[in-house]
Amino acid sequence: MIYLEHNPPARRQFYTTRNTKPTGTIVVHTAENRPDTDLPDGGAEAVARFIRDRSDAGSYHTISDADSTVQLGQFGWTMFHVRGHNSYTIGIAAAVRAAEWTDLDDSYIGQVIDRLAGAARSAAEWLRVAHGITVPASTAKRGPGGHYGPGFASHAALDPDRRTDPGPGFPWHRFFDAYRNDSSPSSKALEAQVRQLQRHLGVTVDGIAGPITIGAATTTVTSQAGRLETIHGISKATR
């Protein structure tokens, strides 16, 4: 579910189009909310509600905490997350404070980073499928035109006069490792299920539930539903 699509914000927090083609830059933020370290973690959901209700501009594509990620806007939308760079970037955020990474329990940090890396993988998959861009597990470099290229950038790097997030204590190496390696049992099981579905649908088998797989699945379900409705209608007419 796209949260801001189903929960319209009090003021505009996004555009549904982009006026600049994405370059593959994913910007990492912290939402600057108080972390909810008592699981279940309601931080991401609280930030989503705050963005829905706020009276000033400020939004991300995703917000992640220790046990959930809320998709606030579609990756094809322009979200208001970094001044001067919104149109070509994707913004992902962690529901913590930039200054508090070193104060948090290590296991909690690991859970947040895993969720944030999962959001990054989803964004990278959209960029790969929609624009043919591969996002490496490395820092994005600034090009001659001022736009950054494929990779990751801190909010602070793109708006150094006003922002410091995700903070000097953000564990970039840990984040990049998690982004590269999704080896949890649940993710492996899900990948196997996606591969099985892709074989059934006759699409590229890569274990990633991207737009092509989802579109093929939706078409199949819609087609089957139509057949069932037709059969049901015939059955009723012949009673």
> Is pLDDT above 50 for 5?
yes
Q: Is 218 found in the same domain as 121?
A: no
Q: Is 71 found in the same domain as 170?
A: yes
**Domain membership of residue 98 as a residue range:** 3-182
Q: Is 119 found in the same domain as 225?
A: no
pLDDT at residue 211, rounded to an integer: 65
Residue 170 to residue 29: CA distance in whole angstroms: 10
Of the candidates 165, 176, 172, 170, which has an alpha carbon nearest to the alpha carbon of residue 135? 176
* Helices and strands (H, E) in the chain, number of each type: 7, 7
Which one of 158, 182, 206 terminates a domain?
182
Report the CATH number at residue 71.
Answer: 3.40.80.10
Reply yes or no: is the peptide bond before residue 166 cis, omega within 30 of 0.
yes
Q: Is 151 found in the same domain as 33?
A: yes
**Does a structural domain hold residue 189?**
no
**Does a structural domain hold residue 172?**
yes
pLDDT at residue 235, rounded to an integer: 46
Q: Is 172 found in the same domain as 58?
A: yes
Q: Is 48 found in the same domain as 90?
A: yes
Q: Is 223 found in the same domain as 151?
A: no
Q: pLDDT tens, 105-132?
A: 999 999 999 999 999 999 999 999 999 9
Q: Is 69 found in the same domain as 130?
A: yes
**Total domains in the fold of the chain:** 2
Q: Is 50 found in the same domain as 154?
A: yes
Collapsing DSSP states into helix, strand and coil, what is residue 142?
strand
pLDDT at residue 189, rounded to an integer: 62
Q: Is 205 found in the same domain as 166?
A: no
Instruction: Compute the average pLDDT of residues 220-232.
Output: 60
Of the candidates 77, 79, 60, which has an alpha carbon nearest to the alpha carbon of residue 119? 60
Q: Is 203 found in the same domain as 160?
A: no
Instruction: Compute the average pLDDT of residues 180-199.
Output: 70
> How far from chain centre, in Å, is Cα 227?
35
Q: Is 177 found in the same domain as 78?
A: yes
Q: Which of the 8 DSSP states describes residue 202?
A: T
Residue 129 to residue 35: CA distance in whole angstroms: 34
pLDDT at residue 220, rounded to an integer: 81
**Does a structural domain hold residue 212?**
yes
Of the candidates 123, 97, 110, which has an alpha carbon nearest to the alpha carbon of residue 25? 123
**Does a structural domain hold residue 218?**
yes
Q: pLDDT tens, 12-66?
A: 999 999 999 999 999 999 999 999 998 899 999 999 999 999 999 999 999 999 9
